[in-house]
Homo-oligomer: A and B are copies of this chain.
Amino acid sequence: MLRLQKKMSNKAGLSPGTLVHIGEKKADRVRLSLISYDGARLQEKEIGSVDEVPTERDGKTVTWLNVDGLHDIAAIEAVGRCFGLHPLVMEDIVNTGQRPKAEDHDAYLYLVVRMLSYDVEAHRVVSEQLSVVLGNGYILSFQERRGDVFEPVRERIRKGKGALRKSGADYLAYALLDAVVDHYFVILEHLNARVEDLEEELLGDPSPDTLKAIHAIKKEILAFHRQVWPLRDMMVQLKKGEFVHISKATRLFFQDVSDHTVRALETAESLRDSLNSLQDLYLSILSNRMNAVMKVLTIIATLFIPLTFIAGIYGMNFVHMPELSWKWGYPAVWAVMITVAAGLLVYFKKNRWL
C-alpha cells in the first residue's frame, strides 16, 4: 500500500495466474509446517512437500498448513494444485501488497490481511502479507518470511485448553486473525511511545532532526492506517454471516475482532491528529520566538542607532563646529542622548514591547 511494491510493473499485461513473486525475497527456503488436531489427537511436524498432507478429511480433524516464504513459485504452485486454488488466488498469494480482503470461492474462503511488526531501531512499521485459505476442515496460511504472531495460538492448540481444540477450522481462522489484530496494539504502543518522545523533544529542545523524525513517524502512522483500513470492511463481511464457511457460533468472535480493528484505527487517527496539532503548535511557537528575537533586535538597534549618529556628528573634524568648544557642549550632548533614549523607551512601553 503506502510502500509501493517496486516490482509490480513486472507483471503488467501478463495472463492471470502467471505466478510472478512480487516482493522482496525474505526467506531462503520455503518451509511447510503442518499442525493437525481434533479434540483428542494432535500432530505437529515440519514437512518437505505438500504431498505429505493427508488428503482425506473426517469432518472433525482440523489441518493447518503454514507456508513461510513465497519466492519458490514451484512449491507454492504445488500447494495450490493440491488444494484446488483458483489461479487468481495463487496470483494474489505470491503477489504481496494486496489490500486486506475476503473472497468467497465456494470451496474455500480466501482472506488476505497485513501482519505488522515494529522495527524498534528504525522506528518503522514492517509489513508482511498473510494469506489465509479457510476450507472444509483445513486452513492454509502463507507468510512472506519466518516468524509470526501465532506462537500463543500454537501454544493454545498444544495445551488443548479453551475452545480451540473443540472447534472447527473457522474458529482457528478467527484465532489467527485475532492474533494479528491483537498485535496491532503492540505496534500502536510503540508508535504512541515514539510520538510522546518526539512531543517532548519538540516542545523542549527541538533540532531539525526532530522535525524529520516527526515527518517519518507520521508516514508510519499513515502506513499503518492504510493497511488496516480495508480490514474494517472485511470484518463487517465476516461478522455479518456472508460466508458459509464461518459458522454462526464463530461469527460472534469475528464481531469482537471487528471491534478491535475499529479501535486500532481510531487510535491511529488520534495519533495522527496529535502529531498534526503538535506541528501547528510548533509553528506558532517558532513564530512567537522569532517575534521575541526581533523585538530585542529592534529595541537595541532603535535605541542606539540614533545615539550613535549623534556621537558621529560630534566626531566630525570640521574646523568650524561651534558646539565643540562650548563649555557645556559635552554634557548637553549627553542630555540630548538621554532624552532621546528615554523617549524611545517610553514609546516601546506604550507599544508593549517591554
Contact = CB atoms under 8 A, between A and B. Distances in A.
B15 A163 contact: yes
Contacts of A182: 9, 11-14
State the oligomeric state as a number of copies: 5
Given A1-B263, A101-B259, A219-B274, A317 B308 contact: no
A59 interface: no
Contacts of A243: none
A40 interface: no
A103 interface: yes
A253 B87 CA distance: 10
Contact of A317 (B262, B270, B317, B353): B317
A113 to B, nearest CB: 14
A345 interface: no
Q: How large is the interface on A (under 10, 10 to 19, 20 to 34, 35 or more residues)?
A: 35 or more
A328 B318 CA distance: 10
Given A13-B178, A149-B12, A162-B15, A321 B317 contact: yes
Contacts of A164: 15
Interface in A156-215: 156, 161-164, 175, 178-179, 182-183, 185-186, 188-189, 192, 203, 206, 208, 211-212, 214-215
Interface of A: 1-2, 4-6, 8-9, 11-18, 86, 88, 91-92, 97-99, 101, 103, 149-153, 156, 161-164, 175, 178-179, 182-183, 185-186, 188-189, 192, 203, 206, 208, 211-212, 214-215, 218-219, 222-223, 226, 252-253, 255-256, 259, 262-263, 266-267, 270, 273-274, 277-298, 300-302, 304-309, 311-321, 323-330, 333, 351, 353
Given A12-B179, A13-B151, A294-B298, 14 more contacts: A1-B270, A12-B152, A12-B186, A13-B153, A14-B152, A98-B263, A101-B259, A226-B266, A287-B290, A294-B297, A300-B301, A307-B309, A308-B312, A317-B324
22 contacts: A8-B185, A8-B188, A9-B189, A12-B179, A12-B186, A13-B153, A13-B183, A16-B163, A88-B252, A92-B256, A99-B266, A208-B288, A211-B284, A283-B287, A290-B290, A297-B301, A305-B305, A308-B312, A317-B321, A318-B323, A320-B327, A320-B328
- A-B pairs with lowest CB-CB distance, top 9: A13-B152, A311-B312, A12-B182, A15-B162, A314-B316, A315-B315, A8-B185, A297-B298, A9-B186
